[in-house]
Amino acid sequence: MDAMQLQDLNTPAALVDTARMQRNITRMQQRMDALSVAFRPHVKTTKCIAIAQAQIAAGARGITVSTLKEAEQFFAAGITDILYAVGMAPPKLKQAAALITNGCALKIIADSADSASAIVAYARQHGTPFEVWIEIDTDGHRSGVLPKGDELITIGQLLHQGSPATLGGVMTHAGSSYDLNTPEALEAMAEQERSLCVLAAERLRAADLPCPVVSVGSTPTALSAQQLQGVTEVRAGVYVFFDLVMTNVGVCSLEDVALSVLTTVIGHQADKGWAIVDAGWMAMSRDRGTQKQQHDYGYGQLCDASGQRLEGYTLTGANQEHGIVSRSGEADHNIAQHFPVGTQLRILPNHACATGAQFPEYHAIYQKESGQEVGPTWPRFYGW
Amino acid sequence: MDAMQLQDLNTPAALVDTARMQRNITRMQQRMDALSVAFRPHVKTTKCIAIAQAQIAAGARGITVSTLKEAEQFFAAGITDILYAVGMAPPKLKQAAALITNGCALKIIADSADSASAIVAYARQHGTPFEVWIEIDTDGHRSGVLPKGDELITIGQLLHQGSPATLGGVMTHAGSSYDLNTPEALEAMAEQERSLCVLAAERLRAADLPCPVVSVGSTPTALSAQQLQGVTEVRAGVYVFFDLVMTNVGVCSLEDVALSVLTTVIGHQADKGWAIVDAGWMAMSRDRGTQKQQHDYGYGQLCDASGQRLEGYTLTGANQEHGIVSRSGEADHNIAQHFPVGTQLRILPNHACATGAQFPEYHAIYQKESGQEVGPTWPRFYGW
């Protein structure tokens, strides 16, 4: 049987350029190896077993997840070392405990005495050996306790009282690194993330509390850190695909973006210089992450079907299943000749995590001498 | 077995207030009956068989879909009269033809001579009796041919040449009605949508071309039209749930919004007046449709678990699986006491079509004397 071609795919479809993805995986892993830290990729970006396996094959140790459903799915696929990196709410303890009982080396996190107390109470009642990491707020962007505050020690003591729950370490995520765009600012943020998380670990140890793990990371800081002294592991997610937001942050180029949406031209408004395509916001997501960055790509950067960038053409508008393609600057009144009805195009996404989530599967694309070849379909899951 | 309660649900979860939904369905159907037009709901909002069946039980005649996958799924569930309301691209003709061959009364649309020619060529080659409606541009917002232009007649003639394809009518969607917010402007837009679509039909008939169907609609114009002379059917989608965008447009109240996301408090940043919840953009979608409207609800309006609105509290920030709840105006430094860890809350969405799409299922909620009762789980599908 001949290999599938792009023309055989229903559009819109999510394509993964496998060569780019593998290059991104290798780049990050080599960097982590050089910095002498373990790497724990965040699989919320892809929710795809095949891709997590490629990350582990390259050297990743364990994975990070954002939902307990992800933990269940990846554990069922044979991955046991899993960090659930969202603050544990008491109603989810039963679901987490079931994973641990079944053999998953699940780690959970807490950033309040209330949450830690609930975990300890459940552990005492059910004998569940929860390993708990304390979330540290190193940049003020979301969750976590302050590295210099009293609550850190209070939580540590709660978790180290001889209940079946144990204190496993500290973790942080400098998500505000997404708002930066110079190497200097990124390096400084990486150092802030490292130094404040290490400080939290040292304060716990000074209070005679155990803190074997010091876990930090985001794609921008992981790629910008100059040294990671005191850190034991790094986490990052979107690096596996990269996206337009990350090109604006400055940690990748457009030629590194491994995820794209294949779309078909379905009409035109030549007077306005518009081509209408069958990828709207249901395919791209509503993420407009580049809107406030230095280069606003609308809903995505246009490429031809082979992946060659069409300079100046972006998805400037999106309804549910309609996208509007136009050229920046002067309208392209010959757009119907440039991209006739039925033409396939590719769109690079603003935010790979959000765009991927719109699709039940990825199509792995391989570059062959004869052109683009469609390889296996990689399912991804969704929901909670 | 006792009925399920909200506390039994994993969060985030998509809830449908069944009483509100039924009221919304009845309101629209009664209006269409009074205006003497058929009603063809757009099921892209819900992608849910149970809800489409409720719309049909109330009097809807046929459905509108935005993807051929929707057509296939609803046809498999026994619904045969289906309009695929996105311009037909030649690569999709085979999939559409298979539906027709299997007995689906599928209607497809075209808004260019290129597209019409491709449809006719396929129909001649394969003997497929495509019924084609011509899309009319009545408000300049997206697709369609101009009602007064030459291309309308050209397309009509192409489709009426004795091939197995037939010209079934005209259709339009005044999507720019979403940008309005006064009854006067909405009534004027409804009249513009009606009159220009009827004009297109009359021009086709004057050219000795058949045009039995005149199909118009959007939720705002359907609820604002004062008369629909010459129109045979109306389409609308989001009215079944309504959402915060529609409250700003002015066609519903907050108490009509039937879709909400159930979430759990997972932490706090009391200094900032933040509660952190487990509904981020993966649950709410990235849709910020109210951002430029008169009332910006952030990522959603907060309610307590029973659905009572918490005035002034909105989801002001969203990461993938984290949402930030805060109060407008003065920060709520007692937010940890108001909403302790583990508290369930509900969030009304900006855009019901986008938020619903993030979930594999809805939970039907019934108001009982004893409180909110969780009824059946209604699956919804996604993908293409």
The answer to whether the CB atoms of A11 and B88 lie below 8 A apart is no
Q: Is A117 on the interface with B (CB under 8 A)?
A: no
Average pLDDT over residues B232-254: 98
Task: Please identify among residues 334-373 of chain A the ones whose CB lies closer than 8 Å to any CB of chain B.
Answer: 336, 340-342, 351, 353-354, 357-361
Residue B383 clears pLDDT 70, i.e. is over it: yes
Question: Which fold would CATH assign to domain B254-379?
Answer: Lyase, Ornithine Decarboxylase; Chain A, domain 1 (2.40.37)
Q: What residues have CB less than 8 Å from A121, skipping those under 6 apart?
A: none
Contacts of B114 in chain A (CB under 8 A): 336, 340-341
Q: Cα B102–B108–B110 angle (5° rounding)? A: 150
Residue B343 clears pLDDT 80, i.e. is over it: yes
Q: Is A139 on the interface with B (CB under 8 A)?
A: no
The number of beta carbons lying within 10 Å of the beta carbon of residue B311 is: 10
Tell me which of B5, B282, B337 to substitute to probe the interface with A (most A C-beta atoms closer than 10 Å).
B282
The residue extents of the domains of chain B are 19-241, 254-379
DSSP secondary structure, B163-178, as one string? SS-EEEEEEE--GGGG
Residue A24 to residue A256: CA distance in whole angstroms: 7
Average pLDDT over residues B312-330: 97
Residue of A266, A353, A360 lying closest to B382 (CB–CB)? A360
B257-266 pLDDT, tens digit per residue, is 999 999 999 9
Task: Please identify among residues 202-221 of chain A the ones whose CB lies closer than 8 Å to any CB of chain B.
Answer: none
Task: Please identify among residues 235-264 of chain B the ones whose CB lies closer than 8 Å to any CB of chain A.
Answer: 264
A79-137 pLDDT, tens digit per residue, is 999 999 999 999 999 999 999 999 999 999 999 999 999 999 999 999 999 999 999 99
Residue A141 clears pLDDT 60, i.e. is over it: yes
Residue B1 clears pLDDT 70, i.e. is over it: no
CATH number for region A18-241: 3.20.20.10
Over the range A119-138, which residues count as b (16 or more CB within 10 Å of their CB) and which as e? bbebbeeeebebbbbbbbbb
The number of beta carbons lying within 10 Å of the beta carbon of residue B77 is: 11
Distance of CA B321 to the CA centre of its chain: 25
The answer to whether the CB atoms of A322 and B276 lie below 8 A apart is no
Order the strands of the B166-172 sheet from edge to edge. Answer: B38-39, B233-234, B213-216, B166-172, B131-136, B105-110, B81-84, B63-65
A254-289 pLDDT, tens digit per residue, is 999 999 999 999 999 999 999 999 999 999 999 999
Average pLDDT of every residue of chain B: 97
Please tell me the predicted confidence (pLDDT) of residue B225.
Answer: 98
Residue A2 clears pLDDT 80, i.e. is over it: no
Distance of CA A315 to the CA centre of its chain: 23
Residue A174 to residue A199: CA distance in whole angstroms: 15
Residue A12 clears pLDDT 60, i.e. is over it: yes
Contacts of A44 in chain B (CB under 8 A): 320-321
Residue B372 clears pLDDT 90, i.e. is over it: no
Over the range A195-211, which residues count as b (16 or more CB within 10 Å of their CB) and which as e? bbbbbbbebbeeeebeb
Q: Is B11 on the interface with A (CB under 8 A)?
A: yes
Which residue would you say has higher pLDDT here, B371 or A325?
Answer: A325
The answer to whether the CB atoms of A322 and B142 lie below 8 A apart is yes
Average pLDDT over residues B108-137: 97
Please tell me the predicted confidence (pLDDT) of residue A347.
Answer: 98
Single-letter residue type at B340: P
Q: Give ipTM to 2 decimals.
A: 0.96
Residue A76 to residue B245: CA distance in whole angstroms: 40
Secondary structure of residue B295 in the 3-state scheme: coil
The answer to whether the CB atoms of A319 and B175 lie below 8 A apart is yes
Please tell me the predicted confidence (pLDDT) of residue A370.
Answer: 81
Residue of B91, B285, B341 lying closest to A115 (CB–CB)? B341
Average pLDDT over residues B305-333: 97
* Banded model confidence at residue B371, pLDDT cuts 50, 70, 90: confident
Please tell me the predicted confidence (pLDDT) of residue A371.
Answer: 84
Determine the angle formed by the axes of helices A93-101 and A113-126, rounding to 10 degrees: 50
Nearest chain A alpha carbon to B344 = A91
Residue of B67, B137, B267 lying closest to A321 (CB–CB)? B67
B79 vs chain A: nearest CA distance in angstroms? 21
Please tell me the predicted confidence (pLDDT) of residue B32.
Answer: 98
A210-237 pLDDT, tens digit per residue, is 999 999 999 999 999 999 999 999 999 9
Counting residues of chain B whose pLDDT is more than 70, the rounded percentage is: 99
B255-293 pLDDT, tens digit per residue, is 999 999 999 999 999 999 999 999 999 999 999 999 999
Question: Which fold would CATH assign to domain B19-241?
Answer: TIM Barrel (3.20.20)
Residue A1 clears pLDDT 70, i.e. is over it: no
